[in-house]
Structure 1
Amino acid sequence: MSDAITIRYQAAQTIARDAGALGLKYFNSFDTLTIESKSHQDFVSEADKNVETLVRAAISAAFPDDAIVGEEDAPAPGTSGFTWVIDPIDGTTNFIHGIPQWCVAIAIVQNGQTVAGIIHDPVHDECNHAMLGNGAFCNDKPIRTLQGRPITNGSLGVGFSGRTRASGSVITLIDLIVQAGGVFWRNGSGALSLAYVAQGKLLGYVEEHMNAWDCIAGQLMIAEAGGKVEPQNADDMIANGGRVVVATAELFDQVQAMADQAYKA
Structure 2
Amino acid sequence: MTDLKTELLEVALEAAARAGAFLRDGRPADLGVAATKTSAVDVVTEMDIASEKLITGFLAERRPDDGVLGEEGASTEGSSGITWVIDPIDGTVNYLYGRPEWSVSIAARQGDETLVGVVAAPLRGETYRAVLGQGAFVNDRPAHARVAPPFEQALVGTGFGYLAARRAHQADVVRELVPHVRDIRRGGSAAIDLCDVAVGRLDAYYERGLNPWDLAAGDLIAREAGALTGGRPGEVPSGELTIAAPPGLFERLQSRLEELGAWHD
Determine if the TM-score, normalized by the shorter chain, exceeds 0.5.
yes
CA contact (8 A) 1:9 1:131 kept: yes
Is 1:256 the counterpart of 2:254? The answer is yes
CA shift at 1:181, angstroms?
Answer: 3.2
Q: Using the TM superposition, name which of 146-155 and 79-88 deviates more.
A: 146-155
Q: How many residues align?
A: 259
Alpha carbons of 1:32 and 1:211: their partners in 2 closer, same or farther (altered >3 Å)? closer
Alpha carbons of 1:233 and 1:111: their partners in 2 closer, same or farther (altered >3 Å)? farther
**Equivalent residue, structure 2, for 1:10:** 10
Q: C-alpha distance in 2, partners of 1:116/1:40? A: 33
Alpha carbons of 1:90 and 1:136: their partners in 2 closer, same or farther (altered >3 Å)? same
Q: C-alpha distance in 1, partners of 2:40/2:248? A: 37
CA contact (8 A) 2:155 2:181 kept: no
- TM-score, structure 2 normalization: 0.91
**Equivalent residue, structure 2, for 1:36:** 35
CA shift at 1:196, angstroms?
Answer: 0.7
Q: C-alpha distance in 2, partners of 1:34/1:102? A: 16
Is 1:182 the counterpart of 2:178? The answer is no
Written as runs of structure 1 = structure 2, the 5 A alignment for 1:67-78 is 67-78=67-78
CA contact (8 A) 2:160 2:167 kept: no
Cα deviations by residue, 1:104-134 (Å, 9 ceiling, x for unpaired):
0001110211111111101121000000000
Q: Secondary structure at the match of 1:129?
A: strand
Q: C-alpha distance in 2, partners of 1:33/1:179? A: 38
**Equivalent residue, structure 1, for 2:242:** 244
Gapped regions of structure 2 (runs ≥ 5): none
Cα deviations by residue, 1:161-209 (Å, 9 ceiling, x for unpaired):
1258434531332133223133111011111111111111001111112
CA contact (8 A) 2:157 2:185 kept: yes
Q: Secondary structure at the match of 2:208?
A: strand
Q: C-alpha distance in 2, partners of 1:11/1:31? A: 32
Q: C-alpha distance in 1, partners of 2:158/2:78? A: 35
**Equivalent residue, structure 1, for 2:136:** 136
CA contact (8 A) 1:245 1:259 kept: no
Q: C-alpha distance in 1, partners of 2:150/2:71? A: 36
**Which one-letter code corresponds to 2:125 in the other structure?**
D
CA shift at 1:14, angstroms?
Answer: 1.2
**Which one-letter code corresponds to 1:103 in the other structure?**
S
Identity of aligned residues (%): 34
Gapped regions of structure 1 (runs ≥ 5): none
RMSD, aligned CA: 1.9
**Equivalent residue, structure 1, for 2:230:** 230
Cα deviations by residue, 1:14-73 (Å, 9 ceiling, x for unpaired):
11011100011233x343445333323111111101110000011111101100000002
CA contact (8 A) 1:164 1:209 kept: no
Q: C-alpha distance in 2, partners of 1:19/1:148? A: 35
Cα deviations by residue, 1:125-174 (Å, 9 ceiling, x for unpaired):
10000000000000100010111422333420111112584345313321
